[in-house]
């Protein structure tokens, strides 16, 4: 199943906390209910991302790993 998204955040090659910082910046320009696809290569991205989503009431609706790239679909 392919998940539609509104914005793509490419954080490949960046270490935490930079992927999260890029997502936070992207969310400033989103409307409620829009979806961001985050592509990251740092395996620790999920920890920071989950804490941030819980704190600010966003939801990780799906995750996937594909050829050492971690994909996160996040709903605002």
CATH of the domain at 68: 3.30.110.40
Strands (E), the chain: 7-11, 35-40, 59-66, 69-75
Segments forming the whole domain that contains residue 53: 7-75
Residue 71 in contact with residue 63, Cβ under 8 Å? yes
Q: What is the pLDDT of residue 16?
A: 87
> Confidence class of residue 2 from pLDDT cuts 50, 70 and 90?
confident
Q: For residues 33, 39, 45 and 46, what is the CA-based torsion angle, rounded to 10 degrees?
A: 50
pLDDT confidence of residue 23: 96
The predicted pLDDT at position 21 comes to 95
Count up the domains in the chain and report the number: 1
Using one digit for the tens of pLDDT, what is the confidence trace for 15-64? 989 999 999 999 998 999 999 999 999 999 999 999 999 999 999 999 99
DSSP secondary structure code for residue 5 in this structure: -
Question: Would you state the pLDDT for residue 24?
Answer: 95
Whether residue 63 is contained in a domain is answered as yes
Q: What is the pLDDT of residue 1?
A: 66
Residues annotated as catalytic are 16
Q: Is residue 36 part of a domain?
A: yes
- 1 assigned to some structural domain: no
Q: Which helix (H) or strand (E) holds 24?
A: helix 18-27
Q: Establish if 20 belongs to a structural domain.
A: yes
């Amino acid at each position: 199943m392919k998940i539609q998204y509104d914005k793509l955040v490419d954080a490949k090659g960046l270490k935490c906390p930079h992927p999260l910082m890029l997502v936070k910046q992207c969310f400033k320009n989103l409307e409620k209910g829009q979806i961001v696809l985050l592509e990251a290569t740092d395996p620790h991205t999920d920890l920071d991302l989950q804490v941030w989503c819980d704190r600010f009431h966003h939801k990780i609706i799906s995750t996937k790993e594909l050829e050492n790239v971690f994909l996160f679909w996040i709903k605002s």
